[in-house]
Structure 1
Amino acid sequence: MGQRMGMALVGLGAASQPHLRSLQDLAERIDLRYAVTRHPHQDRIRPYAGPVRVISALDEALQDPQVQAVIVATPPATHLAICQQCFAAGKHVLLEKPLELDLQRSAQLVEAAQQSGLHLGVVLQHRFREASVVLQQLLTQGRLGEVQAASVRVPWWRSQAYYNELGRGTLARDGGGVLLTQAIHTLNLFQALVGVQSVKAATVRQTRLHQMETEDHVSALLVLGNGAPGDLMATTAMYPGYPETIEVIGTLGSARLSGASLEVNFLTQETLTVTSEGGTGSGANMMDFSHQPHKDLLTDFIDAIASNRPPRVTGADALSTHALIDELLRMGSSPL
């Protein structure tokens, strides 16, 4: 076994839990040396079982020469400042989505990473689900033929209690609603699979199921990467919440990706399936999903650092998805 990579984790809210499980699984390769939180307490790092210092000052972790990379799992409004601090200290960054509150600040963050020469990875873990990887391979290999149409649906549920938590669904803390906070994972995967050239039409609204500052329902018509038609629906008002789906029609067959499961039917009558029994976080329990994609994403990130190659999900990838979200909001926004 080679030398373990020293890391620090910033933020110990709900988003940190799959990271902690992944870090525990990867303890032979990663030395989690610090957990940084405003309320330092050792109990907050469960389920990580190894020795780690829980501190309140990020500077202390950044001054440690054994720390090579930092996982940032704090609210979006904090990302730019924290990442700039990490890059200035010579640390690579794995950043929770979204990049930042708005497209301008997100672009500034990506530029800071590029200028530093350090690696910036983004936690858009749906790209690492087995079913997603298989579908990507089928499309890359041309086994579905030429894409004729594709659709993406995110029929999720969040209760009003979720939005009653301080800052939830606000521009000041989250930067947006269902698109930037929930659907961003599936939109990023959809872009990677079939590409999106532009938004032809969109409707953005707030349903009567929620009282919140930002949108909880979006529908749109899209132009895909090859010019074929696409459509989109994303919401957090579909009780009790259902798995997100991506459907692709090709000249040689069709594919349906539902959550972490895939069903492919070729015109030759051959079929292919990838099944998963795990949840997707689509309902009231937003953490109801396997941490395996997080673990695979983290593995790819440290491998990228070791071999000096870009991680699979880069800052530029995430910035492209943020730009698509901005276009959807611009095309469809009306008084909520």
Structure 2
Amino acid sequence: MKPMGMALVGIGPGAVPHLLSLNDLRAEVDLRWAITRRPEAAQMGPFQGHLQPSSDFQAMLGDPDVQAVIIATPAATHLEMAQACLIHGKHVLLEKPLDVSLSRAKTIVDLAQQHQRQLGVVLQHRFRPGVERLQTLLDQHGLGTVQAASVSIPWWRPQSYYDQAGRGTLARDGGGVLITQAIHSLDVFRALVGVRRVVAAQASRTRVHRMETEDHVQALLELGQGAPGRLMATTAHYPGGSECIEVIGTLGTAVLSGGDLRVNFINGDTPIEIKAEGGTGGGANIMDFPHDWHRDLISDFVASIRQQRPSRTHGGEALQTHQLINDLLTAAGPVIDL
């Protein structure tokens, strides 16, 4: 089968796992364009010297051999870029989040439906082997009925991170720790156990950072089956730890720490254990994670186009996670300065 023509828009640090993944997927994908505002400064990784970066977004849109576009630019640019791609008949894979606000996110999802094109979102934690195994276990009721669950994201970002233009602002990022860092774990947590409602929440700005939005959130939740849940997300936990999801069921308990999964069964059955390689990006080095999950996500997105089915992280799924973030911040009210 002929590789699918694809373009990558945005060649910043966040594009590195995309470039590595696209290189791995040369049998499935033909990267024809790399669009950036400064082509002369673009770092193309494995494509360096093989693909000339360009700033001509319109020319890329006019290329009939480009079937899909990965948009890896700041969240505030997503709606306009996605709309242009969809109008020109391109399928779109967006870096998370969908956009800076729930209303703009909904507009993108609606546009994809109107133009009958696939819309995927880069929520790559869904493709961790430990997450996939736990999802299957829960779908098969292997833990019985969920009695309680929690998600904790004890990450770290230095002040130098927030000193970069637009970082942690509503205008560029759409918020703070929830929409930029915790979104991956929130997406996995929501997919695993569901969240019916936010019972109570608090969003705060710790004295660790100078920033516009929140860097610490805690909440009590009612899960999909009515069980209690809790959340803690921060970028003030030095030096940064692994995100952790715990699920207590009537048949056992599952702990997902970073990419590692451990499931213990009450009846003494052999525990399930999956060990992951590489970091999670929870510390000062935000790109400290393998690109395998990106590769599998892109491969699934390409397959969804060929098979005319939703991708595993389609726009509707991402919109539900964005809605949860919105619900958390609404329940919290104004951000509290500690």
For normalisation by structure 1, the TM-score amounts to: 0.98
Q: Does the residue aligned with 1:44 lie in a helix, a strand or coil? A: coil
Q: CA deviation at 1:268?
A: 1.8
The alignment partner of 1:71 has SS state of strand
User: In the alignment, which residue of structure 1 is the partner of 2:316?
Assistant: 316
Runs of at least 5 residues in structure 2 that lack an aligned partner in the other structure:
none
**Partner SS state of residue 188, structure 1:** helix
Question: What is aligned with 1:8?
Answer: 7
| 8 Å contact from structure 2 (residues 12, 42) kept in 1 | no
**In 1: Cα distance, 2:7 partner to 2:67 partner:** 8
The 2-side partners of 1:261 and 1:216 are apart by 25
CA distance in structure 2 between the partners assigned to 1:77 and 1:3 by the alignment: 34
Q: What residue number does 1:302 align with?
A: 302
* 2-structure distance, mates of 1:59, 1:266: 56
Partners in 2 of 1:294 and 1:50 — Cα distance? 23
| Aligned-residue identity in percent | 57
> Could you tell me which amino acid in structure 2 is paired with residue 285 of structure 1?
N
Whether 2:181 is the aligned partner of 1:182: answer yes
Q: What displacement does 1:6 show? A: 0.4
* 1:176-227 deviation line (CA, Å, top 9, x unaligned): 0000000000000001000000000001000000000000000000000011
Supply the distance in 1 between the matched residues of 2:41 and 2:4 (Cα, whole angstroms): 22
Secondary structure at the aligned position of 1:170 is classed as coil
SS at 1:74 equivalent: coil
Task: Say which SS state the counterpart of residue 326 (structure 1) adopts.
Answer: helix
- Secondary structure of 1:31's aligned partner: strand
Answer yes or no: is 1:138 the counterpart of 2:127.
no
Structure 2 match to 1:167: 166
| Equivalent residues of 2:11, 2:42 under 8 A apart | no
Letter in structure 2 aligned against 1:134: R
C-alpha RMSD over aligned residues: 1.0
Give the match's secondary structure for 1:55. Answer: coil
Instruction: Work out the CA distance in 1 between the residues paired with 2:248 and 2:278.
Output: 26
Q: Report how far residue 41 of structure 1 moved.
A: 2.5
Q: CA deviation at 1:45?
A: 1.2
Tell me, in whole angstroms, the C-alpha distance in 1 between the residues paired with 2:280 and 2:83: 32
Following the alignment from structure 2 to structure 1, what is the Cα–Cα distance between the partners of residues 276 and 311? 25
TM-score of the superposition, structure 2-length normalised? 0.97
Secondary structure at the counterpart of residue 281 of structure 1? coil
Match for 1:8: what amino acid? A
Size of the alignment, in residue pairs?
Answer: 335
Measured after TM superposition, the shift of residue 314 of structure 1 is 1.0
How far is the alpha carbon of 1:316 from its aligned partner?
A: 0.8
Deviates more, 1:37-46 or 1:178-187: 37-46
CA distance in 2, matches of 1:12, 1:74: 8
Q: What aligned pairs does 1:172-321 form with structure 2 within 5 A after superposition?
A: 172-270=171-269, 271-321=271-321
Q: CA deviation digits over 1:22-70, x for unaligned, max 9?
A: 0000011111000000001275211335732311021111111110000
The residue type paired with residue 199 of structure 1 is V
SS at 1:41 equivalent: helix
